[in-house]
Amino acid sequence: MHNGKNQQPERNNDRNAKVGEKVSPTLLHFFRRKWFDSWSGNPPGLILLLFGLFVALIMSVPIIYVMWRSMFAGVDRWMRLLDDRIPQLLWNTFSLTFAVTVCAVVIGVSLAWIVVRTDIPGRKMWQWLMAVPLVIPPYVGAVTYIIVFGPSGWVRDVWRDTPWLVETFGQYPINIYSFWGIFFVLTMFTYPYVFLIASASLRKMNRNFEEVARSQGMSSLQVFWKVNLPFLRPAIGAGAILISLYVLSDFGAIAMLRYVTFTAAIYFQRASFDTASASVLSLVLILLTIIILWIEARTRKKHKYYQTSNTFREPDLLFLGKWKPLAIGYVLLVFFLSVVLPIAVLVYWSIIGIGMGALDDRFFGFAWNSLKVSGFAAILCMILAMPIIYLKSRYPSFISSGIDKLSYAGYALPGVIVALGFVFIFNNHIPVLYNTFYMVALAFVVRFLPQAMQAGEASLSLVSPRIDEAARSLGYPPWKVMFKVILPSILPGILAGGALVFVSSIKELPATLMLRPPGFDTLAVRVYYEASEAIYHLAAPSALIIILVSVIPLRYLLKKY
């Protein structure tokens, strides 16, 4: 409201006039009001806000770079790529993403249903055993399947040495270096994304709705299709989006099995120093990612189901009866293909490698490089995640919401695009950090910061805002409240997020390949190079270490779901 005093000229006008400016007091009042109105309560303070904006700027570097470079790539390069490369890459990428997503969803949902809702023996054990493939990076799985089914693999040797197989079926029919090879590998190591989320939803499903459906004369199959499946759609959608984004961003398994999608093409264009073409391909891949996210969001809005009931009753177990042997065989087959066979192959070659002296100073040097860069990235993520989640939780506004959304940008982008943006920025503007492990660690931060944010945000939601208010009443600024009062309270969640970032960074391959300084090899890089040269006794120990370390996030996920 305006009173009589507001109608008088303000003294600040004279001060502004001295520097050659005349600012309307009404305009100043407007901007001040907009600034305060954008926050629910008091503003967060300049230090905290600048810190959050700085983090958001770092997170948006890859997207800004790709868009900028694509604008100046030239019409000729755009037309050449549209004519020659992009249509084929679109088909390869889309067909693989669609096939893997559909098949992984079917496997994940069916396994979740069997181990959660039926009387299969060892239900509790299977609920965590079927999630174990999450700890095996697909490029490691690709290595093991090349060893077993490749042109010089174990199955090929058995086939060649068995005359009746050759006489009956002809030459060895399996081509692991094909669409079907990469489709099989990615499916086997991504289905747990759906399995975990669907299992959690099935455990929370209310028995009352099923009993009402059965009272209408529906069979168990009809209850599943008309009652259970609609309630599972959000879980299926969440798992499907995770799988689709993973397939879009995967480079290691695709490169190992010699299949070309956008990520592989971007990497090879960058390796040949054609950064403009790589930027154009990256822009198309970003658009594909946005389209998938948009489709998932639209589907989620159209299909919303709520379990509105005053009482919750755990669902009944279904008796498999004569179908029990078939269900057990199906679960055992998937477990053997996705867990037992890969780990057995790695253990076999690791024993051979250890006998041949694979665990030498060189190996421990690779392990130290992995620990160093991943540990540094985890520490950075824990530090940077704190102000973002604090801004979002305690000072909600369009500014803090924008910072939060930008912080997730790198998580949805493939590692090759993040690396491409960092090459341009550091090479042209921050050369002192170019070709250092710090640049690799910062790329990991952009890729995996949301993991630290999610874990910290879950812990912060349990801390009452009144604690902040009490500290502010003592004269503490917001940033000091965050570090001295809130951080000690949510430290376990922050550390859990740091552990997730650490393990994800150890497994990250494309960004490490593109950004590592000369001579700075990690375990993931050595797995890629040694396996590419078929030196399996050197690749296996590194791959086995990565799997053992990756058990940490699996424990976190199983507690969460």
DSSP state of 130: T
Note whether 366 and 520 are within 8 A (CB). Answer: no
Task: Assess if residue 183 is contained within a domain.
Answer: yes
pLDDT range class, residue 118, cuts 50, 70, 90: confident
pLDDT range class, residue 100, cuts 50, 70, 90: very high
Q: What is the pLDDT of residues 335-370, one digit of tens each?
A: 999 999 999 999 999 999 998 888 888 889 999 999
Question: Are 319 and 393 contained in the same domain?
Answer: no
Report the share of the chain in percent with pLDDT over 90. 18
Span 206-227, average pLDDT? 66
Task: Assess if residue 338 is contained within a domain.
Answer: yes
Is a pLDDT exceeding 90 seen at residue 88? no
Nearest-10 Cα torsion for 401, 406, 412, 418: -170
Closest CA to 270 of 543, 510, 71: 510
pLDDT at residue 3, rounded to an integer: 47
Question: Are 60 and 148 contained in the same domain?
Answer: no
Span 241-255, average pLDDT? 86
| Rounded Cα distance, 441 and 379, in Å | 10
pLDDT at residue 396, rounded to an integer: 72
Cβ neighbours for 492, distance < 8 A, ≥ 6 positions apart: 459
Provide the b/e sequence for 435-449 (b: ≥16 CB within 10 Å).
Answer: eebbbbbbbbbbbbb
CA dist list (Å): 533 to 108, 146, 337, 483? 34, 12, 24, 49
Question: Are 103 and 52 contained in the same domain?
Answer: no
pLDDT at residue 187, rounded to an integer: 95
pLDDT range class, residue 12, cuts 50, 70, 90: very low
Q: Bridge-partner residues for 318, per DSSP? A: 118
Closest CA to 281 of 241, 307, 242, 248: 248
Note whether 420 and 266 are within 8 A (CB). Answer: yes
Span 434-453, average pLDDT? 86
Is a pLDDT exceeding 80 seen at residue 147? yes
Closest CA to 126 of 338, 312, 341: 338
Task: Assess if residue 537 is contained within a domain.
Answer: no
Note whether 104 and 96 are within 8 A (CB). Answer: no
pLDDT range class, residue 252, cuts 50, 70, 90: confident
pLDDT at residue 215, rounded to an integer: 65
| Rounded Cα distance, 491 and 383, in Å | 11
Specify the DSSP element, H or E, that contains 110: helix 86-117
Query: Angle at the Cα of 420 (from 411 to 291), degrees rounded to 5?
Result: 45
pLDDT range class, residue 101, cuts 50, 70, 90: very high
Query: Angle at the Cα of 74 (from 73 to 76), degrees rounded to 5?
Result: 125
Question: Are 99 and 60 contained in the same domain?
Answer: no
Question: Are 212 and 272 contained in the same domain?
Answer: yes
Least confident span in 9-13, 275-279, 536-540: 9-13
pLDDT range class, residue 556, cuts 50, 70, 90: low
Residue with the larger pLDDT of the pair 230 and 208? 230
Is a pLDDT exceeding 70 seen at residue 25? no
Task: Assess if residue 390 is contained within a domain.
Answer: yes
Task: Assess if residue 242 is contained within a domain.
Answer: yes
* Domain ranges, residue 500: 48-74+356-521
First to last CA, the chain: 52
Least confident span in 227-231, 279-283, 424-428, 518-522: 227-231
| Rounded Cα distance, 464 and 485, in Å | 12
Tokens linked to 467:
């604690």
Span 528-547, average pLDDT? 89
Question: Are 421 and 336 contained in the same domain?
Answer: no
Q: Of 506, 521, 536, which residue constitutes the final position of a domain?
A: 521
Number of domains in the chain: 2
Task: Assess if residue 536 is contained within a domain.
Answer: no
| Rounded Cα distance, 561 and 555, in Å | 10
Question: Are 283 and 402 contained in the same domain?
Answer: no
* Three-state SS at 118: strand
Question: Are 410 and 301 contained in the same domain?
Answer: no
pLDDT at residue 232, rounded to an integer: 73
Q: Of 317, 345, 373, which residue constitutes the final position of a domain?
A: 345
Question: Are 66 and 90 contained in the same domain?
Answer: no
Span 205-234, average pLDDT? 68
Question: Are 65 and 140 contained in the same domain?
Answer: no
pLDDT range class, residue 331, cuts 50, 70, 90: very high
Tokens linked to 67:
């868009």
Span 455-471, average pLDDT? 72
| 375: amino acid identity, one letter | G
Question: Are 272 and 407 contained in the same domain?
Answer: no
Q: What CATH number did the domain enclosing 394 receive?
A: 1.10.3720.10
Q: What is the mean pLDDT of the chain?
A: 78
Neighbours of 381 (CB within 10 A): 31
Task: Assess if residue 267 is contained within a domain.
Answer: yes
Q: What is the pLDDT of residues 34-75, one digit of tens each?
A: 444 555 556 666 777 787 788 777 777 777 777 777 776 666
Question: Are 322 and 385 contained in the same domain?
Answer: no
pLDDT at residue 11, rounded to an integer: 42
Is a pLDDT exceeding 90 seen at residue 475? no
Cβ neighbours for 461, distance < 8 A, ≥ 6 positions apart: 393
Residue with the larger pLDDT of the pair 45 and 498? 498
Task: Assess if residue 239 is contained within a domain.
Answer: yes
Q: What is the pLDDT of residues 366-385, one digit of tens each?
A: 999 999 999 999 999 888 88
Span 399-428, average pLDDT? 78
Tokens linked to 165:
């197989």
